[in-house]
Structure 1
Amino acid sequence: MGLSVGFLLRLGLLFTAVCVCVHVYLRTGWWRTPAPPGLGRPIQTHQKLGKHGRASGVPAEGQEQDRSIKRRISYVRTLKKEGSARKRYEESEVLSPPCCPRLRSHRKTPRWHIDLEPWASESHSLEAEAKRFLSYITTPQVLCSSLGGEETAQEETTGPWAVCLDPKYSLSHRIQGKHCRVYSFGLGAEDRSLEHSLARSGCEVHCFDPSLKQPHLQQDEMWLHRLSVDWRDPNPAIVAQRPYANTKKLATILNDFGHRQVDVLKADMESAEWKILENLVLEGVLDSVGQMLLELHLHWAGFEVGGDDPSVVRYWFSLLRELELANFRLFHVHSDQAKPHLFLHKNILNASSSYTLSWVNTQWKP
């Protein structure tokens, strides 16, 4: 009798444990999770996944379970595709996730340095570099049928600063449509004949001069700003010490003024032009400029330009080649013969120490 009671007690406990397991099994939904092949019940029909992660060949029985399985597989595959696409987009900035519209990069990826051109000669001589460079800056690359700018009283020819008004380029059409915008950068007092001429034609002209007493001033149909362009934005600590010294990168100025494009960019930066031009190249700002008028100073290397003389000239030449690669073409050259004939403190090929060059962006579409 005692044995029968013990047996019944153990049987009751076993039955209770079985009931608890069945209850947990039904409540947690383990029965909905497909078992891996070889570890659970055999799969009666092989399911093939298409390129979109959808299952085919689903057996007739258990259709609700298989739909759940298909949705889960499709969701996992979609996540994998999105993750892979996002990774490719971040690496190339071209692809975008399939679930989202194609993203558009508003600016090219900044570069860290320009690409130096090969040496002009195997000997890396200054003479060879200077000859190549001077030939490059004194040979116009495109013909402009109509130049606009200051005209000299004696020869009635265009002065050092000139814009191209050829109808095949956009500036003349922009002036007619009253949509022309001009940026003029200079240090101290300078001739602004070109700016006045463009302002009278209907252009919106902004002159930047850090020596002004007022932050902004409208004068003679032009805007004057106490600001100058630089190849880097200022250090906040320096700005706090010198509140009236205000220099910024061109990209920052465009952003602060809410301007996307500039039809004409004129700059006479007294030997800072090389590093400023390098910044425009590296940050991809050249796409926002229609024509560039730049005065070059060749009597020394320029601010923060290092290296021996042949390396400096090679760097100058490489910068100007970057302009050509960005679809800019030289259309006007002016040599100031009144300036000393010094080329890196030497008299080389009787070159002047100052040249004013004008380029047009042949692919510029405002």
Structure 2
Amino acid sequence: MWRERLTLGLLLRLGILLTGLAVCLHVYLETGWQDARGPLSLGLPIQSNQNPGQQNRMSTEPEEQNKGIRKKMSHVSSHILRRDSHRHRKTPRWRIDLQPWASENQSLEEEARRFLNYITTPQVSCASTAGNGSSLDRSKSEWVVCLDPKYSLVHRMQRKHCRVYSFGLGPNERFLEHFLAESGCEVHCFDPSLKEPHQQEAEMWHHRLSVDWRDPNPAFSAQRQHATTKKLATILNEFGHRELDVLKADMESAEWKILENLVLEGVLDTVGQLLLEIHLHWAGFEVGGDDPAVVRYWFSLLKELERAKFHLFHAYSDPMKPHLFLHKNVLNASSVYTLSWVNTQWNPARMLDKPKK
């Protein structure tokens, strides 16, 4: 028995030894073949029966092939990077990026000063606008859209490819919506107080629905035939809409959490212009923290809009509204502002928009 074990051990060792020799031989042959090409890679002359012209052509052909391969690889890599970065932008985020404090002492006055200056300073000019105020003075218009030819809305209106969503609570005057509908836009008005789920009135659609920062709990929505609040991404998906030329929203202090949802889920990429009424007399639904932290959160949300290429072109404050800022009179600020942004990078032509029937 011990002799058999000894024989097996010797055979095993012999096999390992032969394998090692084979590996060494392979490495030696590979190294020798590379050394044979060494002078070319080092730039040294090679003795050959070919004439110099033939040698030069042969030496440059591999380099040209390598350049072509590297160029193709670079093109493919850049395409992959662009695709991956686009996918990364579409990936939902968990929280917004808070901006640094306005001052080291984190005071309410400094936070309010920065915030109010930001919302009352237009970032881009708009050569032509339309609103619900006097045609002679658009600065007195509460809701305003930009019809500057350098942006897409006016061209989309001319081609009858324009789509508008208008969210509001209760009976509101809809001068702007009627103007856009008469100008060739497909206008959808959302109001959860309507009696019918959907109805068409003249040139506009009305829906018993409103936008929210979350979808309804399935356990509760199953008990009702129609849920009255949904996220904008859900509404777009159910309606089969890929883009909105104008999104208008007056959500009575729910705007901050709704705006946060639009930012985190990347829905703003589908919007050309955003018209939003903001309420400053209190923090807003489900917005927590002390007063300076609340204003910092508001400011950070608006900076997220700027990151998404939205730029403010119109701001309006109603002189009839009380001057309350988080239940205080801070810098004589109004309690309500209506703001209008245009997405300067919006290109609906990439979204394969189909002509209206």
Give the TM-score taking structure 2 as reference length.
0.74
Structure 1 distance, partners of 2:238, 2:86, is: 22
What is residue 121 of structure 1 aligned with on the other side?
Answer: 103
Identify if the C-alpha distance between structure 1 residues 39 and 362 changes in structure 2 by more than 3 Å, giving closer, same or farther: same
For the residue of structure 2 that corresponds to 1:151, the secondary structure is coil
For the residue of structure 2 that corresponds to 1:199, the secondary structure is helix
Q: Is residue 2:133 matched to residue 1:170?
A: no
Structure 2 distance, partners of 1:103, 1:271, is: 34
AA aligned opposite 2:175? S
Q: Is residue 2:328 matched to residue 1:365?
A: no
Shift of 1:143: 0.5
* Correspondences of 1:1-366 after superposition (within 5 Å): 38-39=18-19, 42=22, 45-46=26-27, 105=87, 108-152=90-134, 158-366=140-348
Shift of 1:42: 3.7
Shift of 1:319: 0.3
1:229-266 residue CA offsets vs partner (Å, 9 max, x unmatched): 00011101121344444211111111111111100000
Structure 2 distance, partners of 1:132, 1:322, is: 15
Structure 1 distance, partners of 2:167, 2:282, is: 21
If you compute each CA radius of gyration, which structure gives the higher value, 1 or 2? 1
Q: Mean Cα displacement is larger for which, 285-294 or 104-113?
A: 104-113
AA aligned opposite 1:261? E
Give the conservation status (yes or no) of the 8 Å contact 1:108–1:284: yes
Structure 1 distance, partners of 2:128, 2:329, is: 34
Give the conservation status (yes or no) of the 8 Å contact 1:239–1:246: no
| Larger RCO: 1 or 2 (CA < 8 Å, sep 6+) | 2
Paired residues in the alignment total 286
For the residue of structure 2 that corresponds to 1:357, the secondary structure is strand
Give the conservation status (yes or no) of the 8 Å contact 1:147–1:158: no
Identify if the C-alpha distance between structure 1 residues 138 and 104 changes in structure 2 by more than 3 Å, giving closer, same or farther: closer
Structure 2 distance, partners of 1:275, 1:352, is: 21
Structure 2 distance, partners of 1:103, 1:116, is: 22
For the residue of structure 1 that corresponds to 2:161, the secondary structure is coil
Consecutive unaligned residues in structure 1, runs of 5 or more: 1-34, 49-88
Identity rate of aligned residues, in percent? 71
Give the conservation status (yes or no) of the 8 Å contact 1:149–1:158: no
Structure 2 distance, partners of 1:128, 1:104, is: 37
Give the conservation status (yes or no) of the 8 Å contact 1:298–1:354: yes
Consecutive unaligned residues in structure 2, runs of 5 or more: 1-14, 31-76, 349-357
Structure 2 distance, partners of 1:103, 1:151, is: 42
AA aligned opposite 2:258? I
AA aligned opposite 2:232? L
User: More helix by proportion, 1 or 2?
Assistant: 2
- Runs of 4+ in structure 1 deviating by more than 6 angstroms, as ranges, are 101-104
Give the conservation status (yes or no) of the 8 Å contact 2:130–2:138: no
What is residue 9 of structure 2 aligned with on the other side?
Answer: none
Alignment RMSD (CA, Å) = 2.7
Give the conservation status (yes or no) of the 8 Å contact 2:129–2:138: no
What is residue 66 of structure 1 aligned with on the other side?
Answer: none
